[in-house]
Amino acid sequence: MTITDRKTPPMSATSKSARIVIIGAGLSGSLAAVALSRAGHQVSLIDKHKTYPKQFRVEKIAGRQVDLMRKLGILDAIAAEATPFRDILNVRAGSIVDRSHDPHFGILYEDIVRIARAQLPTSVDCIIDDVVDIQTGPQTQQVSLSSGGSVQADLIILATGMADSLRHKLGISRRIVAEKQSISFGFTLASKTKQAAAFQALTCYGAGISNRIDYLSLFPIGSLLRANLFTFLDHDDPWIRELRRDPVAVLFKSLPGLSDFVGEIEPIDKVQNWVMDLSVAENVDQNGVVLIGDAFQTSCPAAGTGVTRLLTDIDRLCNVLIPQWLETPGMEKEKIRNFYSDPVKQAMDIEAMQMAHYRRSLTVDRSLRWGFHRRQHFARRRIASWFDRTRTRQATASYRADAG
């Protein structure tokens, strides 16, 4: 049953209670609720939206995210509705860099959240409401709802993404690490011809630093071709207006050689874009409340680490720390601090931040050092790919010789 179709009782000025109350049922909050309720904890999950709005966020699950989702017992449900692909053609300036072969799942964010919510056991009390206030303390926490009701709990998990108001009420600020660090674009394309595409998925890297494009990722969702374009443009660059007006013409002009790989394509929806500030929450060591996912730290979309971060948060918090915290009474800040100093969580947060800076430098840094690194990076990949192909050819030839 999902938070969408659950018969939520009309909110009145009632007071409810739960062991753990989770505010925000995006991916972080919904998965935390799944993990905790499956482990037998009494959970209330609150979100202001019955259905997650159509918003551009992560649209493919890959790499460590696949293993973490499997560990959290959510992968099969997502895989059942996603479009799987594994062969990716990577190109730059009109020629092939290499090919990668890893499991990926293409799926829109609103569908990922819908599926995550659908995994909630009926024991979870799902409340559709806007949380307007939070009172915290070493023993008991209380959240106030816009409808006048309230929920009391031992622990609050704040999974409100980039929304600021509840963090402000708690005196939690956001330290901006990099303002307007990246701009990402999402839109859908369709082939104008009946000819099948020569790739399952394609990554086209920016050919130089002048256009500030990191890469364009084209991948299937159902019968459509989804485009995620990651850039480090200034937010007021006129190029952005041009892209919105005529995405295909602007892509073909800015990414030389792309048209040779994709053939004739056309956009079938509007270009969505997102300007990302990299930020980390500060003053988080507080009684009774813990922040996860984007509520704690935002990630650069080009780095593709946001979901790995939030899954790591959930794994460490829900599977390791909360069971320990609930063994003794009270939810003092000394317990909460264990989460932010957890070595696995910290390593992932640092990695995500480093990867964000790396992608930006690789794309736009004009220094000699980065110019050298950029050339070396792609040259190394091309050489490794050449060795791979040669090894495969030799292995095939020797197999045929043995068989013949």
Ligand X SMILES: Cc1cc2nc3c(=O)[nH]c(=O)nc-3n(C[C@H](O)[C@H](O)[C@H](O)COP(=O)(O)OP(=O)(O)OC[C@H]3O[C@@H](n4cnc5c(N)ncnc54)[C@H](O)[C@@H]3O)c2cc1C
> Which residue's Cβ has the minimum distance to ligand X?
26
For ligand X, give the closer residue by CB, 173 or 191: 173
For residue 140, CA distances in Å to 137, 160, 230, 288, 384 come to: 6, 20, 43, 7, 57
Closest separation in Å from C-beta 163 to ligand X:
4
**235: closest CA among 189, 279, 178?**
178
Is residue 106 at the binding interface for ligand X, with CB under 6 A as the rule?
A: no
Q: Give the DSSP letter string of 349-389.
A: HHHHHHHHHHHHHHHH--SHHHHHHHHHHHHHHHHHHHHHH
For ligand X, give the closer residue by CB, 237 or 332: 237
Out of 304, 335, 339, 364, point to the residue binding ligand X (CB under 6 A): 304
Closest separation in Å from C-beta 110 to ligand X:
10
Is residue 290 at the binding interface for ligand X, with CB under 6 A as the rule?
A: no
Provide the residue count of the chain. 404
In sequence order, the 6+-apart residues with CB closer than 8 A to the CB of 386 are none
Total binding residues toward ligand X, as defined by CB under 6 A: 36
Task: Determine the interface stretch with ligand X among 43-51, 148-156, 248-256, 328-336 (rule: CB under 6 A).
Answer: 43-51
Whether 23 and 131 have beta carbons less than 8 Å apart is answered as: yes
For ligand X, give the closer residue by CB, 71 or 373: 71
Is residue 149 at the binding interface for ligand X, with CB under 6 A as the rule?
A: no
For ligand X, give the closer residue by CB, 143 or 364: 143
Out of 98, 214, 294, 342, point to the residue binding ligand X (CB under 6 A): 294
Out of 25, 34, 153, 284, point to the residue binding ligand X (CB under 6 A): 25
CA 146 – CA 151 distance, rounded (Å):
12
Q: Which of residues 178-197 bind ligand X (CB under 6 A)?
A: 184
Q: Which of residues 115-144 bind ligand X (CB under 6 A)?
A: 130-131
Is residue 24 at the binding interface for ligand X, with CB under 6 A as the rule?
A: yes
CA 141 – CA 232 distance, rounded (Å):
41
Task: Determine the interface stretch with ligand X among 77-85, 277-285, 287-295, 385-393 (rule: CB under 6 A).
Answer: 287-295
Task: Determine the interface stretch with ligand X among 50-58, 72-80, 241-249, 315-323 (rule: CB under 6 A).
Answer: 50-58
Closest separation in Å from C-beta 305 to ligand X:
6
Both tokens assigned to 265:
């394509």
Q: What is the DSSP code (8-state) at residue 178?
A: E
Closest separation in Å from C-beta 384 to ligand X:
24
Closest separation in Å from C-beta 25 to ligand X:
5
CA 86 – CA 89 distance, rounded (Å):
10
In sequence order, the 6+-apart residues with CB closer than 8 A to the CB of 242 are 250
Q: What is the 3-state secondary structure (H, E, C) of 38-91?
A: HCCCCEEEEECCCCCCCCCCCCEEECHHHHHHHHCCCHHHHHHHCEEEEEEEEE
- Helix, strand, coil fractions of the chain, as percent rounded to 5: 40, 30, 30
CA 334 – CA 326 distance, rounded (Å):
13
Is residue 247 at the binding interface for ligand X, with CB under 6 A as the rule?
A: no
In sequence order, the 6+-apart residues with CB closer than 8 A to the CB of 354 are none
Out of 4, 11, 38, 56, point to the residue binding ligand X (CB under 6 A): 56
Is residue 213 at the binding interface for ligand X, with CB under 6 A as the rule?
A: no
**Which residues here bind ligand X, judged by CB under 6 A?**
23-29, 46-49, 52, 56-58, 130-131, 159-161, 163, 166, 184, 274, 276, 293-295, 299, 301, 304-308, 310
